Structure 1
Amino acid sequence: MSAEARLAELGLELPNPPVPLANYVPWRIGGGLLFLSGVGPRRADGSSITGVLGAGMSVEEGYAAARLCGLNLLTNMRAALGSLDRVDTILKVLGMVRGTLDFGGHPEVINGCTDLFVEVFGDNGRPARSAVGMGSLPRGIAVEIEAVVLIKG
């Protein structure tokens, strides 16, 4: 099943592409790879999920924020490639989690994004991955995620 068909089957609607907030572009293509800039958990209304994991924000809430990041990354993949069906493999994901010094659930939070990618792309959506903690993220967002994608040749 194609990725676009799978997205529809899952009943997932992608948000509008986020507008860069600084001097960068949402993606670059080179050497058969799509490099996606980091995105936050931006909702369709333009608001974002903010907070600190381990300080009033649960792993489940972080997971939901990471899933929202994943939807925004899918939006940028589609905008860059014209269709999610041009995605061959999600090669690499870097997930950044705003957490307290003693928070250790970074992998479980970033699963929100990578679980989504597996739902849409099957095993080709399972990337090499890093899930790291940050003391702060832009505008107080809870999670930021970037990715590298292999484009079908």
Structure 2
Amino acid sequence: MNTEERLKELGIELPSPQSPAANYVPAVRTGNLLYLAGVGPAKGADGTIPSGKVGAELTKEEGYEAARLVCLNILSRLRAELGDLDRVVRVVKLLGMVNATEDFTEHPAVINGCSDLLVEVFGERGKHARSAVGMQSLPFGIPVEIEAIVEVAD
């Protein structure tokens, strides 16, 4: 089964790719590696983009869902850059940043929202190394931002 068929099987429709919020490009390829700039969450089912700190305005579970929405934008960006998600050889690494309160310590559980979806979509190709860290704030008050490094085929 190809990746687009897998998305349909999962009932996932990808959003349009996000435009950069400042003076940078959304992705840079060097050799067979594609580096994605930090990506924020797509709009949720209610049509809004999540905002707030995990541990205050958002629960760990809501943070997980926000990270899942980030993953939709990562997949959208990959499709826009590569033209075909089947060109993803392997998701190599994620850097997950969680806008969290000082006492929140479950950052990995939040970033699992993205990691779990990557494995659902790509299977073994979606398993990756990862860092999950807390931040005092993130742009526009978003709860999660994630960078990705992906190995791609020509």
Fold in common (TM above 0.5) = yes
Query: Are 1:141 and 2:142 counterparts?
Result: yes
- The offset of 1:16, in angstroms, is 0.5
Q: Is the 8 A contact 2:42 2:72 kept in 1?
A: no
Q: TM-score, normalised by structure 1?
A: 0.96
Secondary structure of the equivalent of 2:94?
strand
TM-score w.r.t. the length of structure 2 is 0.95
User: Which is further off, 37-46 or 4-13?
Assistant: 37-46
Give 2:34's aligned residue.
Answer: 34
CA distance in 2, matches of 1:24, 1:46: 26
SS of alignment partner, residue 29 of structure 2 = strand
Aligned length: 153
Q: Corresponding residue for 2:5?
A: 5
Q: Please list the CA deviations of residues 51-96 of structure 1 after superposition, one character each: whole Å capped at 9, or x if unmatched.
A: 1011131011000100000000000000000010100100000000
State the superposition RMSD in angstroms. 1.4
Unaligned runs of 5+ in 2: none
Report deviation, 1:47.
4.2
Q: Counterparts in 2 of 1:18-33, with a 5 A limit?
A: 18-33=18-33
- The equivalences for 1:1-150 within 5 A come to 1-43=1-43, 47-150=48-151
Aligned-partner Cα distance in 1 for 2:43–2:37: 17
Q: Distance in 1 between the 2:84 and 2:48 partners? A: 26
- Residues 71-129 of structure 1, C-alpha deviation per residue, up to 9 Å, x if partnerless? 00000000000010100100000000010111011000000001000000002101100
* Identity level (%): 59
